[in-house]
Amino acid sequence: MIRSFASFACVVAACMLASCGNSNNGTAADKPADTAAAVASALPDAKNFTDSLDGKTTGLFILKNRNGATAAITSYGARVVSLLVPGKNGEMTDVALGYDSVGKYIHQPETYFGAIVGRYGNRIGKGKFKLEGKEYKLATNNGPNHLHGGLKGFGAHVWDAKKVNDSTLELTYLSQDQEEGYPGNLQSKVTYTLLGDSTNCLKIEYEATTDKATVVNLTNHTYFNLNGQGSGTINNHLLQVNADKYTPVDSTLIPTGKIESVAGTPFDFRQPTAIGARIDSPNQQLKFGTGYDHNFVLNPNKGSGLNLAATVLGDQSGIFMEVLTNQPGIQFYGGNFMNGSNPLKGGKKDDHRTAFCLETQHFPDSPNEPSFPSTELKPGQQYKTTTVYRFSVKK
């Protein structure tokens, strides 16, 4: 049984370091040879990720922990390509959707699989905002609005990569002043660490500094299916979100500025609920998003450390994912716009609602909503956030 957030949050805060301890003392080599072989065969060929773009060479980097969990990350978009964790029968399951070559990330219709999105993840209304009395205009690449950094956001650039050890990868990117219309030279750094002890954790640390006042909202856009990539619907996954409130949107998916209770709505995931249980409810917000594509206002953290934002249980695999963060919001997207047009790894397809995203973040359109938590970053300040995707098994 999944425990309530009230009883679970303190346990997570106390046990976070112990249960996701540093994995440098062991690697997949400590695991049985057949497990290591299964992992190797499930990973995409690194040769397919070597290319030259904008004067930089792309690559694929493999992270491992002592439990045999494995992550494949490409420097193109600093994105997660594969994430293999054990299921209830011990089999390694790739829970992250992705392509088998860098060329597909560039040319296929869906470009956000696994990517770091920025300079501003999510939407900015009408592609404009004011900062220190000056209006800035951005690309409108999502109807009338700006989405995920614009026409060429952070996910479409090659990052400089440094593999620190078997379990840690650092990626850096300098976003130039006026890139996609944003002010300031923004130096960004993302660190992936694959931790493992009694559980397996993919820790993502975001950092940024600027030389001019700007807005920043970085997040990771991994599409998850806890039964395995391409294994069918995620509507039977059990989702729980630590949020009493959410930000309703207009017909273009921009927040109205209101913060409303989830009580009595299809957005009430305060108890574990099948993702698809209320997907067909006659609710105007669901109609606007053609399903779930909304920001949840996370309840304040009652303890120290990271806040337990959400949990998801794969109905077939038994894989249980917890999302921990120090961000104030989380965007839940239920794969509403997936239509099977993208060829995934292993010949799989991204069919309708066969993956979900849980993107930790500040709220959409915050630069235009003074009542929302600020996303402004000034010279001399450091943007720094952390998110952990933590995996265990419930049999």
Max alpha carbon distance in the chain (Å)? 62
Name the DSSP letter for residue 227: T
- Residue 390's closest CA among 10, 71, 19? 19
- 205 catalytic? Reply is no
Q: How far is CA 77 from CA 110, 219, 223, 366, in A?
A: 13, 12, 15, 24
The active-site residue out of 146, 157, 221, 362 is 221
Q: What are phi and psi of 320, to 5 degrees?
A: -115, 120
Per DSSP, helices labelled H in the chain are 5-19, 33-42, 102-107, 284-289
Rounded to whole angstroms, the Cα distance separating 19 from 67 reads: 12
Name the DSSP letter for residue 370: T
Token pair, residue 395, equals: 């049999």
Centre a 10 Å sphere on the Cβ of residue 304 and count the other Cβ atoms it contains.
9
- 221 catalytic? Reply is yes
DSSP 17-80: HHHT---TT--GGGS-HHHHHHHHHHSPPGGGG--EETTEE--EEEEE-TTS-EEEEETBTTEE
CB contact at 8 A, 199 and 153: no
> Distance between terminal CA atoms of the chain?
10
CB contact set of 104 (below 8 Å; sequence gap of 6+): 342, 343
The active-site residue out of 170, 322, 359, 369 is 359
Q: How far is CA 143 from CA 156, 253, 334, in A?
A: 20, 10, 20
Token pair, residue 212, equals: 């001019």
CB contact at 8 A, 394 and 311: no
Q: Which residues are catalytically annotated?
A: 221, 359
